[in-house]
A and B are shown apart, each in its own frame.
Chain A
């Protein structure tokens, strides 16, 4: 009798929320599985069903000190990622759902070592393993949002010591093989400074290459404009200028990024991790006692803020500076002055200012929903490749696959598929039509799934109409445009199929 394989230290099965499309496909596959006689075919279907349950992987990349770890902490609502330079910041760290909360050090040789997290939920300062021998860190947290996605924090790009950034570039390729086997879509959060740098463009290109050009249809890469506090001296107009910059950047890279979202990472981290106390709010309120001009002089520089005379102790001021930075302090004071309310209300206002909510919606909500379409698309593709020996089984699988493919709810999945074909260069469209397709897919994916989830039977019509409404396209003129392209003798069969899918979307909206 052969010895049993070593048991995994903890159960890794995780219940994950499932989108409406995945639910539909999973149910159909479950029925199919029950009808089949061949265990081998059933096993293949079970692999496809597991793929529908994989978490989405979100990589966070950007330059050194761009604020990646701060952002990860803010998203996770826990100060788990170390934000100062140390052993951990030079390593790739995966944050996944798991109980109990723990750190698993994955060695280059595949071995794993367990470490507890600190009582405050942060990573241990010293790992006790030579960093050169570590492939990655896996942090398991019982944070609900992580049920749907896994966040991968990367070391910074473009440090003078280039070995770090090389590691990051390698990371994006590390699990090429295993990734091929799972049906999880992948996503990039690119944390950027105020201006696009060559490294940022390089990272996007790398991402494009790694992810088969998928990101170029603007479905799964988002720019995060960090350190917006550096934009100007006064806090009041920072948001406007950040938004303007973000918009221009988005225009500039519209093929690569779904959106550019300005985020004050430090403020977001402090508030979402619940570090700002009532006492801090009091200290802030006391600063309001200063005359406006004295307050202005105090807030001119970090050195001044801590070094000058003020009605708050230096220790408290240093703490405020660490938690919020000058910009955040200015923001908080302005809030306190207008609303006069501290505590939780201040926290909410600051959080709203930080821009983190929009990012969280983008990451946890939109990506989670888009993942539904990605995963289902892959599952349908995999279904076509199932090997069955018995003719009856084979016929049944094909029947289910075709039935699913023709379901009006699956229109979104087809749109994503043809958009990918266009993005990958497999199919060439005139520029105007290609752009319309990208816009349609982006709007459609977000709208459609909500609509399907909420409205039920009439969903396809509502979703299509809402999507077209969102991108301001009239379905009738759209149909005319795509029909004439489809009838054009120059369009090849693949391009005609793209046109057919788009036409079905327009027709659904009528």
Chain B
């Protein structure tokens, strides 16, 4: 950066920064944060202020006021307010008259109140509180720092027992160009000081650290080394210089000025005040850049504050859209699994019923064949002993009946159990899935339905079993008889009469036996052809009913779930789309803000270089950057 190009650069930079500030004001206004937009306007309005404002701040009792008195070369002018309880700040500005002028700004009066020098302590100090509400005490001093147009603002100490002081100092900082921060070199920089500097760092363009009372310590620079590295780490080149000063030495130098000029000059140098004045004057030359820096800091703060909720909202929208999508996916997956398990359950019902049917058919056929074969054998034996034939026939029929009945009942019980198990499985599926949005059937309702199914099944079993009993009774003859025993008795009487006549009619024995055989065969054939078939038909009917009931129950539930999932998916999809759109919008804004932030960082660098650069090269009083 060379001399001739600098004016153009200031103009360029200020235009750039103004554009940037306008853009951010626009964003803040769009975001409805007019308060933030105002912050920028306030900072920008300082651009044309001819005075460079330097705020003197530091912890209580660190020697701010003595330092300020020493800086303007008037020891004892401002009273050290050793009780920093008031919210009063003191502004020291240059005047053309020969003597200092004091006045106070009071809240309920438009005109400033003129004060005597002697009243100053009272107005600044504690007792000022009792009087009218003092906003500010102004002290006019003939040319405090020649040619530099510097205004000093003395503040109550920060980190004292009165937090109101901290707030007041920060409010003053918002309208300042430079912070002159006074530190005790003997004590490590404290957390309260760092907190204050962190807040000041957001508002003011540059900071100069003054280490006070260096006359008290040997090697104060070494003592300060730790604090210095902390400040460097936290604030970088925002702290443009660190100067050790001693107001006490400066005061003695002033006393000895005429008496011992050589010693006075020595003390002047040792006091560090000359160096501090030079640093401040150099910064004063860079006022325009300091203000740009200050403006950029405010712009940065506004940008951050505007961006933050927008970005957060965008992130939140995106996250909630993602969450909705994944929720729907999870529900769909659950639904699919549910369907798979439902159809498996249905398949199980069909399989179970047909397996049972097959097995029962086999059993029935085998029974018939067995009965048939046995009957043949017994008929042959009956030739020799018709009575035992009848006995055997009777007991055989009874045993066959019992066997068949028991077998059938066991089968039905097994079928019932399997179906019940499958129903349970279906219920369980229904119960364990579909959280939240999918309406869940009340457990009571499910239980009721389950119970009715079981009842129905039991009825089917009972009717099927009863039918078989009837079939067996039909086998024994006497139509319409309720008691199969009486049927058997009838058959035995027929056979008995036939056999008792055989002794008389030996010749017809063969024929009789033939007739018995034929009759028995007919009975068996008839049993096989009609009653067995009818029993099987009824059995099948019962099974079908049962199967249908189970299937329709499971299917109903699955269909219901289908609907619910579809509804939910539609709602979620719409909502997710909505949020994604919001997120995209937020991202667009964020990109715009990030771009602004990039420009801001670049401009900040340029301005900061300009500020630090001045100190390194110490330009003349008409330095190129004072151009407006």
Tell me the A residues contacting B by CB distance below 8 Å: 63-65, 158-160, 162, 165, 193-201, 229-230, 233, 245, 248, 293, 296-297, 300-304, 306, 321, 325-326
Residue from B159, B192, B218, B270 in contact with A306 in the complex, judged by beta carbons closer than 8 Å: B218
Contact B160 A198 (CB under 8 A): yes
Contact B187 A63 (CB under 8 A): yes
Please give me the residue from chain A that is nearest to B63 by CB atom.
A230
Q: Which residues of A contact B61 (CB under 8 A)?
A: 193-195
- Name which of B245-253, B317-325, B359-367, B415-423 contacts chain A: B245-253
A193 to B163, CA, bound (A): 18
A460 to B60, CA, bound (A): 47
Contact B186 A196 (CB under 8 A): no
Please give me the residue from chain A that is nearest to B190 by CB atom.
A158
- Name which of B172-180, B208-216, B426-434, B498-506 contacts chain A: B208-216
What is the CB-to-nearest-CB distance from A245 to chain B, in angstroms, rounded to a whole number?
A: 7
Please give me the residue from chain B that is nearest to A85 by CB atom.
B188
Contact B190 A159 (CB under 8 A): yes
Contact A198 B215 (CB under 8 A): no
A200 to B190, CA, bound (A): 13
A193 to B63, CA, bound (A): 13
Q: Is B316 an interface residue (CB 8 A)?
A: no
Q: Which residues of A contact B83 (CB under 8 A)?
A: 248
Residue from A193, A196, A199 in contact with B192 in the complex, judged by beta carbons closer than 8 Å: A199
What is the CB-to-nearest-CB distance from B269 to chain A, in angstroms, rounded to a whole number?
A: 12
Q: Which residues of A contact B246 (CB under 8 A)?
A: 301
Residue from B82, B213, B218 in contact with A230 in the complex, judged by beta carbons closer than 8 Å: B213
Q: Which residues of A contact B251 (CB under 8 A)?
A: 233
Q: Is B191 an interface residue (CB 8 A)?
A: yes
Known contacts A158-B191, A195-B84, A197-B160; A300/B267 CB under 8 A: yes
A301 to B157, CA, bound (A): 25
Q: Which residues of A contact B260 (CB under 8 A)?
A: 293
Contact B217 A197 (CB under 8 A): no
Q: Is B494 an interface residue (CB 8 A)?
A: no
A457 to B213, CA, bound (A): 58
Count the B residues whose beta carbon is within 8 Å of the partner chain — how many?
Answer: 37
A434 to B504, CA, bound (A): 143
A184 to B157, CA, bound (A): 39
Q: Is B447 an interface residue (CB 8 A)?
A: no
Please give me the residue from chain A that is nearest to B85 by CB atom.
A252
A321 to B186, CA, bound (A): 15
User: Hey, what's the 0/1 contact readout for B297-329 against A, CB within 8 Å counting as 1?
Assistant: 000000000000000000000000000000000
Q: For the complex of A and B, list the 6 residue pairs with the smallest distance between their C-beta atoms, beginning with the closest.
A: A195-B61, A301-B215, A195-B60, A194-B61, A302-B218, A65-B187
Contact A198 B216 (CB under 8 A): no
Q: Is B263 an interface residue (CB 8 A)?
A: yes
Contacts A/B (CB < 8 Å), 12 sampled: A65-B188, A165-B191, A193-B61, A195-B84, A196-B161, A199-B159, A230-B213, A300-B215, A300-B248, A300-B249, A325-B216, A326-B216
Contact A65 B192 (CB under 8 A): no
Q: Is B34 an interface residue (CB 8 A)?
A: no
A165 to B213, CA, bound (A): 26
A64 to B191, CA, bound (A): 11
Q: Is B194 an interface residue (CB 8 A)?
A: yes
Tell me the B residues contacting A by CB distance below 8 Å: 59-61, 82-84, 157, 159-161, 163, 186-194, 213-218, 227, 230, 246, 248-249, 251-252, 260, 263, 267, 270
Q: Which residues of A contact B270 (CB under 8 A)?
A: 301, 303-304
A321 to B263, CA, bound (A): 22
Q: Which residues of B contact A64 (CB under 8 A)?
A: 187-188, 190
Contact A160 B248 (CB under 8 A): no
What is the CB-to-nearest-CB distance from A104 to chain B, in angstroms, rounded to a whole number?
A: 29
A13 to B578, CA, bound (A): 79
Q: Which residues of A contact B249 (CB under 8 A)?
A: 300-301
A229 to B214, CA, bound (A): 13
Q: Which residues of A contact B186 (CB under 8 A)?
A: 65
What is the CB-to-nearest-CB distance from B247 to chain A, in angstroms, rounded to a whole number?
A: 9
A131 to B105, CA, bound (A): 55
Candidate in A64, A199, A300 with the most chain B CB atoms within 10 angstroms: A300
Contact B159 A197 (CB under 8 A): yes
Contact B191 A197 (CB under 8 A): no
Q: Which residues of B contact A197 (CB under 8 A)?
A: 59-60, 159-161, 192
Q: Which residues of B contact A193 (CB under 8 A)?
A: 61
What is the CB-to-nearest-CB distance from B436 to chain A, in angstroms, rounded to a whole number?
A: 46
Contact A301 B216 (CB under 8 A): yes
A158 to B230, CA, bound (A): 15
A65 to B218, CA, bound (A): 16
Candidate in B82, B190, B263 with the most chain A CB atoms within 10 angstroms: B190
What is the CB-to-nearest-CB distance from A382 to chain B, in angstroms, rounded to a whole number?
A: 38
Contact B82 A160 (CB under 8 A): no
Known contacts A158-B190, A160-B188, A301-B270; A195/B263 CB under 8 A: no
Q: Which residues of B contact A199 (CB under 8 A)?
A: 159, 190, 192
Known contacts A195-B60, A196-B60, A300-B252; A159/B191 CB under 8 A: yes
